[in-house]
Amino acid sequence: MNARPPTSIIPIQPIASAAAAPLPVDDGATPAGDRLGRTMHDLRISVTDRCNFRCTYCMPKDVFDRDHAFLPRSELLSFEEIVRIARLFVEQGVRKIRITGGEPLLRKQLERLIEQLARLDVEITLTTNGALLAQQARKLADAGLRRVTVSLDALDDAVFQRMNDVGFPVGRVLEGIAAAADAGLGPVKVNCVVKRGVNDGEILPLARHFRGSPHILRFIEFMDVGSHNGWNLDAVLASREVIARISDAFPLDPIEPGYRGEVAERWRYRDGQGEIGVISSVTHAFCRDCTRMRLSPEGQLFTCLFADRGHDLRGTLRGGSDDAALTSLIRAIWRNRDDRYSELRGEATRAAKVEMSYIGG
Ligand code: SAM
Ligand code: SF4
Ligand code: SF4
């Protein structure tokens, strides 16, 4: 049985913790660069640690089982708290907000949050497993959502169900993608995490399926996130192999990134049937351009997907701090950031890392 994750699994400590590095003095200059000179551009907001899937590479069933203690509702940031924090980030230069989870569409009345975030001067996007998208796409679009990314690891139903591990049929995710496009949330980005020997046989069928559609298929290397997904290097299929396999059937040419710091490398079908992307988090780390902050469902701020601790914004917020104090805390956290886990992978071992299903991808 799993009790509430012990702090060694999801360590969450307030910034005032004795172990935290001292924060540099904030001079108030905008935009603030971190220790490696990176400016803050994106905020990912995880709105729940719950999910209706148990993807084997993210929430293995034996760990995230019936007895697993998810966050109680009272611990979650309210929509008002999220919007207040998001506004301060936007004032500090954030231009893109991605809603994630867990499965974000499980958060009740998510459209109310989208509606409020959409009033900020930023692009709002969302990453979902697509299970509930067919029902919710229209109201999310009406609320001001502009784009969605849907995770889809296989077209073959048996492979897909084995990977989501709850027997969810692939057809309903495809319906969700179609509904999103109908609601104006396209072109949809479709993300496939590739595990060698598990779903690498799905690379070509997926490429064939989405070729010629407006949607953009992206293949992600299986990452060593969290502490429970049984990661090992042998299960990683390098992006260059994905490109080689697709290119053999449908020749591809590289294209320039759309903007600096774009994590996906883009490739176009030579015959004009659209483009695909690969995200080489393991074989070609992109930390030097990483401009992201991540806010957990309970208001812990993480400066890296592989961090072992967050910084407690909720405590500061609920303690009655004003916007100026919160802003200065956010700036100080960013200025103190020197994360580059993926570049150091192999050199730096970490006993415990935050779980992907808690912090979002
Ligand atoms: N539940 C939503 C979903 O699946 O789209 C949002 C949260 S999920 C954690 C965000 C993304 O992280 C998904 O695209 C998922 O495939 C990806 N992901 C999860 N575990 C991963 C891993 N070990 N390696 C690479 N990507 C992973
Ligand atoms: Fe859920 Fe997304 Fe993790 Fe799959 S990848 S278990 S859908 S949070
Ligand atoms: Fe950014 Fe950390 Fe990923 Fe590097 S390892 S790209 S710093 S989130």
Name the residue ranges covered by the structural domains of the chain. 34-359
Give the mutation target among 59, 99, 160, 193 for probing the ligand 1 site: most ligand atoms within 8 A of CB.
Answer: 193
Q: Does the Cβ of 286 fall within 6 Å of ligand 3?
A: yes
What is the rounded CA–CA span in Å between residue 27 and residue 32?
Answer: 9
**3.40.1010.10, 3.40.50.300, 2.40.110.10, 3.20.20.70: CATH of 34-359:** 3.20.20.70
What is the rounded CA–CA span in Å between residue 316 and residue 196?
Answer: 44
Ligand found nearest the CA of 193: 1
Q: Does the Cβ of 225 fall within 6 Å of ligand 3?
A: no
DSSP, residue by residue, 24-64: PPP---SSPB-TTSPBP-EEEEE--S--S---TTTS-TTTS
DSSP, residue by residue, 69-129: -PPPGGGSPPHHHHHHHHHHHHHTT--EEEEESS-GGGSTTHHHHHHHHTTSSSEEEEEE-
The separation between CA 201 and the C-alpha centre of its own chain, rounded to angstroms, equals 24
Q: What is the value of pTM for the model shown? A: 0.91
Place of tokens 């995770």: 151
Ligand found nearest the CA of 293: 3
CA of 10 to the centre of ligand 3 (A): 18
| CB-CB contact of 118 with 107 (8 Å) | no
Alpha-carbon Rg for the chain, nearest whole angstrom, is 20
- pLDDT by residue for the chain (361 residues), tens digit each? 333 333 223 333 333 333 344 445 555 655 579 999 999 999 999 999 999 999 999 999 999 999 999 999 999 999 999 999 999 999 999 999 999 999 999 999 999 999 999 999 899 999 999 999 999 999 999 999 999 999 999 999 999 999 999 999 999 999 999 999 999 999 999 999 999 999 999 999 999 999 999 999 999 999 987 778 878 888 999 999 999 999 999 999 999 887 777 789 999 999 999 999 999 989 988 899 999 999 999 999 999 998 888 999 999 999 999 999 999 999 999 999 999 988 887 665 566 777 887 877 7
